Structure 1
Amino acid sequence: MSASPRRREPANPVATGAGAEQIRSFSDTDKTSKYEVIIIGAGVAGLSAAYRILTKRPGTKLLMLEARERVGGRVHSVDVGNGSVDLGASFIHGVNGNPIMELSKKLGFEVTPSRMSMRAFMPDGSLVPQEDIIRVGPRIFGTVFEWLPEISQGASTEKDIPSDVESLADRVFSKDSPIYADTSEDANTEKKDEVFIAESTIRNFQGWTGAPLDYVSLKWWGFNKDTEGGDGLLVKGYGPLIQWMKEEIERLGAVIRLGEVVEMISTDEESGVVVQSRHDNDTTRYEADYSVITLPLGVLKHDPPTFDPPLPIRRQQSIQRLGSGLLDKIVLIYDKPWWSAEELKAGQSPAPAADEDEDDEMGDPMINLLLPSKDNPTRLMGPSGGAPPNHKPNLHPGAFPPRSAEYLQQNPNALMIFDVHAQNGVSALSIFVAGEWGDVMECCSEEETRAWAESVVKDYFKELVSGEVPSPSKVLRTTWREDKFAYGSYSYIPAGSTANKNLGPASPVDQLEVSRTLWGRLYWAGEHTELNQYASVHGAWSSGVREGDKVLVQLENRE
């Protein structure tokens, strides 16, 4: 999923004169320059395509080219000493019939249910009473996952069908929205506080969509039929699963070449495919009968390889119509999990708001929701309060346009902190910074980001401990938009009003278009090509299986 055509500068600037660059037909370590299949990208889609082909047709001459110096793409786990944390994808969404869940069970990788129990914090550090969460929470989730799909997909007459330009925000914040149920202009203070909580929390759902709600199409919300059931989490993260895929594919005979930045893909219906890639100073040409291209949508939109012949205009337009969203993480790693119920009891600090018996049975809530302050509504929008910092006002390619100061003041967002310790015992908190706030955060320095993240945790969690909230021993952060091998996290279908007006509105037809085989030689996989499972790890996996099966048909019929 992550091989990118980004042109690299030579690692040795001295060797840039005439004749310094050599084009090879194969490397000394390769047994052949001609393969049956070349897979471009060793993310989940590429790995699953390779696994499918090699398990169904052992002995297939298969090459994988990956731009990064690792496999996994936007699924990336890092070792932090006493375990690992996922810097990319974290969840297995919808465990029933989910191929990632089935593979994990088969391999014996432990999966824990994602406990959606939640505690919410006020700006002064006090905990929102659980009865308030129980009352407001279902209204929020019901609005997003029941009421909106019923509007978009359950229309009984043509006039009830949402228009192409309507966004999720148009209905979520309309007067008929369930988040405003039982409220009125003369509602009491308690009801108005509930509305404030509901509005700021539901804006935080751009962590789910990857995009602000006013950018996401209402017409196609709920159109896809994804896997069902609760969510799961791999206890040791995605790392062991990705490593198993790599080792198994290599055992089955695949050649995986890392650090190979694909620059050109030439196709001929008669002779096959030629792929040109660069590794440091060396440019190499590889030949194959077929190629599976798993480049991320963001790369295809902003920095694609040269295609010869050029991609059909319909393909180019579909790529540009679809949206590439963003979810970044700031991971604060501590010497011990000072916020956990066990540590709090040991230190005789105040207990969390959840019932003590429930804590013992269920463990700590995985989701910590920080609610914004009415006096400082932009505090949770990142180090620079949702506006690009003065020292770096230009956002990265594909970023959402900056908002006005007035908008930022009038649309406060909640912030989600995921408890990694509740997942796998690692003493870490992971702050999810999504969509437009992630784009702005990526323009802030490491120092600014760390200072903001630390101060937010210390201010909001201060009532949990009797003393001071400790500082983290290490802070990690992602920059998936800036990443030249990703340009974003996962795809979404934009509302017509936010899409390129010269191209017309986006629709699921675009997802079908970007998955169609070209010239009988080029096959396309990636989460953005999956109509029903896009924006997920299992969508990427399913797309690789789908394209692997197509290639197998060609290989078997050729024989």
Structure 2
Amino acid sequence: MASGARAVRVVVIGAGTSGLAAARTLVDTWDSSKNGGPLELTVLEARNRIGGRTWTLVSEAPAAWNAADALGAPTDMGASWIHGSCPEHPITKIAKALGQTEGGGLVQTDDDSSEVVLCDTGKTPDDDKFDAYESMLEQAQEKAEDAETDKSIWQMLSGRSESGQTRDSALFQYHLATGAEFNTAGPASQLSAWSGFDDEEYEGSEVVWAKGYKTMYEALQSGAVKLNDGSNKVKVTAVAPGSRKPLAVQYGKRIREVAYDESGVKLTNADDGLVYQADYAIITIPLGVLKSSDPRSAVTFRPDLPRVTAEGIRALGFGNVVKVALLFPTVWWPEGTHYYGLAQAGEPDRGLFTYFLNVHALSDKPVLMTFALGSAADMAEKMSDAAVWEAIRTNLMTIFDSNDDVTVPEEMPHMIRSEWRADPHAKGAYTYCAVGTSKDTISAAFGSAVEGRLFFAGEHTSAAYRGTVHGAFQTGQQAARAVVANSRGAPAADSEEEEDD
């Protein structure tokens, strides 16, 4: 590299998981002698915080989050779990580098520690009824594979299980809501049957961060961890405080226009019209915002994005999940069980606050977490606090009706609710394959750079792990590697499947 070479300007739009992963990877692996010059990195974030849809409310939060003080403990109102925690899992690697392991920073949730009550009888169903749910899904998958056209998962769920269940059975619909609809954030009536059964996953336990996902995203921002060695692998090492390279994030910077050509990129800030010029831009804007025409959110691309990218944005689904954290003065429910559920049929009832996580089993706080899933999620966002508590209390009373030792309080507890659909910087929770779309839709839309200048990242760009934190993380790293490759005039590795030592 010649002395005085011009800096290579890279802008990362968004400081959620994928944006932080991209920025951290660039900082940790950039080699000025090979990449055409020193790195000039700008990270723009529309919010007043990092993390995106990984959002941990904590008692020391800024004034705008003071409602969380009453919880007295970190509470994840966005992503919560590391799904399939194992040595190969990229988020588990970050946790390990930070000294967080199961039993010491990571807490396992036990899906088998569950008590489900049938709404119409108030009784607990037989254990084999869950097997019936899985059996019916397998039947639906076989039908989907033989079908000439794609249909929704719901349309494929015809027939009857050996135990007599149909898709209209209350218990089946409970498992549908807490399984497929929770995992995808989409209603079963809109989920692609061709694509709804092909999600890839890591083999391991389901764990949550004892101190919330902020443990991860703050480490990425602060430089407490170092990512990679420049190869197509996830390598994470801890960094001593004196050697850290923190990311400088600019807050309140919402981009309203992205202009690009083969020579570079110009990004226009929505509030003051300030223009950022760059050689490359990594765009981690959520799919919901890319789809949005809301003037508080919308982004214009000049020229228009390639047809395959625009069509992918239009066709893919972007669903919603509502989380409600309930803090009570004391624990009034049985303490040992991890999950409580109410099985009832019909939309939106099957997904409207029928699933409860006993947070007290994972910490010392008297907290229950419940969810609105599938078609119930958008409806729940529009309900008043009083209406939400009435619906929750009614379901809790049914769940514990046969337990003479339990009395559900009448008074509404301290309550915090997520509102991702109403959030102009999210416009929903996460991505699903709608009818007519597939992994190929995602790969075609986001798998290649636009004009060699725009690189998309985020959970919606992960064909293998859409809707997950690790999918967002991996695509952020992938985009960073592609920028490095372009700066060197070399082809980038286009697989998001990570090799491991």
The code of the aligned residue for 2:89 comes to N
Tell me the TM-score normalised to structure 1 length.
Answer: 0.72
Q: After superposition, where does 1:349-360 map in structure 2 within 5 Å?
A: none
Where does residue 5 of structure 1 map in the other structure? none
Count how many residue pairs are aligned between Structure 1 and Structure 2: 437
Where does residue 455 of structure 2 map in the other structure? 523
Where does residue 169 of structure 1 map in the other structure? 154
Where does residue 551 of structure 1 map in the other structure? 483
Residues 267, 448 of structure 1: alpha-carbon distance in 2 compared, 3 angstrom cutoff: same
Aligned counterpart in structure 1 of residue 89 of structure 2, from 83, 98, 102: 98
Where does residue 454 of structure 1 map in the other structure? 393
SS of 2:189's equivalent in the other structure is: helix
Q: After superposition, where does 1:330-369 map in structure 2 within 5 Å?
A: 330-341=324-335, 364-369=336-341
Residues 249, 49 of structure 1: alpha-carbon distance in 2 compared, 3 angstrom cutoff: farther
Contact map agreement 1:512 1:529 (CA 8 A) in 2: yes
| 1:286 Cα deviation from its structure 2 partner | 1.2
Greater length-normalized contact order (CA 8 Å, ≥ 6 residues apart): 1
Residues 113, 150 of structure 1: alpha-carbon distance in 2 compared, 3 angstrom cutoff: farther
Residues 340, 320 of structure 1: alpha-carbon distance in 2 compared, 3 angstrom cutoff: same
The code of the aligned residue for 1:105 comes to K
SS of 1:468's equivalent in the other structure is: coil
Counterparts of 1:224 and 1:53, CA distance in 2 = 29
Counterparts of 2:26 and 2:348, CA distance in 1 = 50
SS of 1:260's equivalent in the other structure is: coil
Where does residue 287 of structure 1 map in the other structure? 277
The code of the aligned residue for 2:40 comes to K
Counterparts of 1:102 and 1:230, CA distance in 2 = 14
Counterparts of 2:414 and 2:276, CA distance in 1 = 42
The code of the aligned residue for 1:307 comes to F
Aligned counterpart in structure 2 of residue 258 of structure 1, from 241, 245, 251: 251
Q: After superposition, where does 1:320-335 map in structure 2 within 5 Å?
A: 320-335=314-329
| 1:49 Cα deviation from its structure 2 partner | 0.6
Contact map agreement 1:517 1:524 (CA 8 A) in 2: yes
The structure richer in helix per residue is: 1
| 1:143 Cα deviation from its structure 2 partner | 4.0
1:353-408 deviation digits (Å, cap 9, x = unpaired): xxxxxxxxxxx23221112389xx976664xxxxxxxxxxxxxxxxxxxxxxxxxx
Tell me the TM-score normalised to structure 2 length.
Answer: 0.80
| 1:120 Cα deviation from its structure 2 partner | 1.0
1:72-121 deviation digits (Å, cap 9, x = unpaired): 11111112443111111111112232211121122122222220121112
Contact map agreement 1:369 1:417 (CA 8 A) in 2: yes
Contact map agreement 1:319 1:514 (CA 8 A) in 2: yes
Counterparts of 1:86 and 1:42, CA distance in 2 = 17
Larger Rg: 1
Contact map agreement 1:43 1:73 (CA 8 A) in 2: yes
Counterparts of 1:490 and 1:223, CA distance in 2 = 17
| 1:164 Cα deviation from its structure 2 partner | 3.1
| 1:444 Cα deviation from its structure 2 partner | 1.8
Residues 234, 105 of structure 1: alpha-carbon distance in 2 compared, 3 angstrom cutoff: same
Residues 48, 115 of structure 1: alpha-carbon distance in 2 compared, 3 angstrom cutoff: same
Counterparts of 2:169 and 2:479, CA distance in 1 = 46
Where does residue 73 of structure 1 map in the other structure? 52
Aligned counterpart in structure 2 of residue 111 of structure 1, from 106, 110, 118: 106
Alignment of 1:508 onto 2:439: yes
Contact map agreement 2:171 2:345 (CA 8 A) in 1: no
SS of 2:465's equivalent in the other structure is: coil
Contact map agreement 1:51 1:249 (CA 8 A) in 2: no
Contact map agreement 1:290 1:521 (CA 8 A) in 2: yes
The code of the aligned residue for 2:152 comes to S
Counterparts of 1:512 and 1:373, CA distance in 2 = 36
Q: After superposition, where does 1:412-427 map in structure 2 within 5 Å?
A: 415-427=354-366
Contact map agreement 1:420 1:427 (CA 8 A) in 2: yes
Counterparts of 1:541 and 1:261, CA distance in 2 = 21
Contact map agreement 1:124 1:459 (CA 8 A) in 2: no
The code of the aligned residue for 2:81 comes to F
Alignment of 1:466 onto 2:405: yes
SS of 2:325's equivalent in the other structure is: strand
| 1:307 Cα deviation from its structure 2 partner | 1.2
Residues 430, 253 of structure 1: alpha-carbon distance in 2 compared, 3 angstrom cutoff: closer
Residues 125, 50 of structure 1: alpha-carbon distance in 2 compared, 3 angstrom cutoff: farther
Contact map agreement 1:264 1:275 (CA 8 A) in 2: yes
Aligned counterpart in structure 1 of residue 426 of structure 2, from 486, 491, 496: 486
1:482-504 deviation digits (Å, cap 9, x = unpaired): 11111111111112xxxxxxxxx
1:274-306 deviation digits (Å, cap 9, x = unpaired): 111134xx3321111110001111111114311
Counterparts of 1:526 and 1:193, CA distance in 2 = 33
Where does residue 162 of structure 2 map in the other structure? 181
| 1:273 Cα deviation from its structure 2 partner | 1.2
Report percent identity of matched pairs: 26
Counterparts of 2:281 and 2:465, CA distance in 1 = 23
Alignment of 1:64 onto 2:43: yes
Q: After superposition, where does 1:170-209 map in structure 2 within 5 Å?
A: 170-172=155-157, 174-175=158-159, 180-183=161-164, 195-205=169-179, 206-209=181-184
Q: Structure 1, unaligned stretches of length 5 or more?
A: 1-33, 184-190, 342-363, 383-413, 496-504
- Cα RMSD over matched residues? 2.8
The code of the aligned residue for 1:69 comes to N
| 1:456 Cα deviation from its structure 2 partner | 2.9
Residues 236, 151 of structure 1: alpha-carbon distance in 2 compared, 3 angstrom cutoff: farther
Aligned counterpart in structure 1 of residue 267 of structure 2, from 275, 283, 291: 275
